[in-house]
Structure 1
Amino acid sequence: MAKLIVMYGTPKDPAAFDRYYFSTHVPLARKIPGLEKYEISEGAVASSAGPAPYYLVAVLHFSSITALEAALASPEGQAAAGDIPNFADGGADLFFFDSKEV
């Protein structure tokens, strides 16, 4: 299993972020080939030190790192990644990795 984690910084206008994210970005991201599961955080994002500087965390699941890399390189993956600056004025950090259960 491989994961792509996107951590969105707090936007200037959270309501506008939510409108765009759910009406435009999520439908784009759902078209990414090989996407098996798409989760997002609900409510405030916290850390062990208290509130985190993130507004929303998205976790996208793929069968392997190879599938994830192919997905990011696809036209759909490029469209979704290219869309991030259209709504994420608080910034976005993307992390991707292969994972295993322990």
Structure 2
Amino acid sequence: MYKLIACWSAPRPEDEDAFEQHYRDVHLPAAAAVPNLRRLVATRTASGLEGGEASFYRVAEMVFDSQADLEASEHSEEWGAMRADAGVMIERFGVSLQVGLGEETQAEPGPR
């Protein structure tokens, strides 16, 4: 599997409810419409490791069968709409977005 990982910074406190509504009602449906997408997982962080501050506010994983499938999707209208909406969110809510791409590796859990 090949993933796009998107990490969002926190919106201004007074914009948090509006950000969450926009993310849920506009951005996630736009992302879910991207062709070749196998799975979309979005997480709202509550805290960081061992009770520390979270390094990011939201993270989304877009999973594709291959890098080629993701790259093909980048040329679609749906991808363009998702990217345009990310720009709207950055401007409207004062958030930042960091994105990484890579191959998924799985490991079996050790003995319990």
Going from structure 1 to structure 2, the CA distance change for 1:101 and 1:23 (only over 3 Å counts) comes to same
Tell me how far 1:54 sits from its aligned partner.
Answer: 1.3
Identity across matched positions, percent: 28
**In the TM superposition, what are the counterparts of 1:14-25 in structure 2 within 5 Å?**
14-25=16-27
Match for residue 41 of structure 1? 43
**Aligned residues: CA RMSD:** 1.8
* Higher fraction of helix: 2
**In the TM superposition, what are the counterparts of 1:1-102 in structure 2 within 5 Å?**
1-12=1-12, 13-47=15-49, 50-88=52-90, 89-102=94-107
Q: Given the two structures, how large is their TM-score scaled by the length of structure 2?
A: 0.80
Tell me how far 1:45 sits from its aligned partner.
Answer: 4.6
- Whichever of the two has the greater Rg, that structure is 2
Greater relative contact order (Cα < 8 A, sep 6+): 1
Residue deviations 1:18-72 (CA, integer Å, cap 9, x gap): 0111111111111100111110114415246821241100011100011111112
The aligned length equals: 102
Runs of 4+ residues deviating >3 angstroms: none
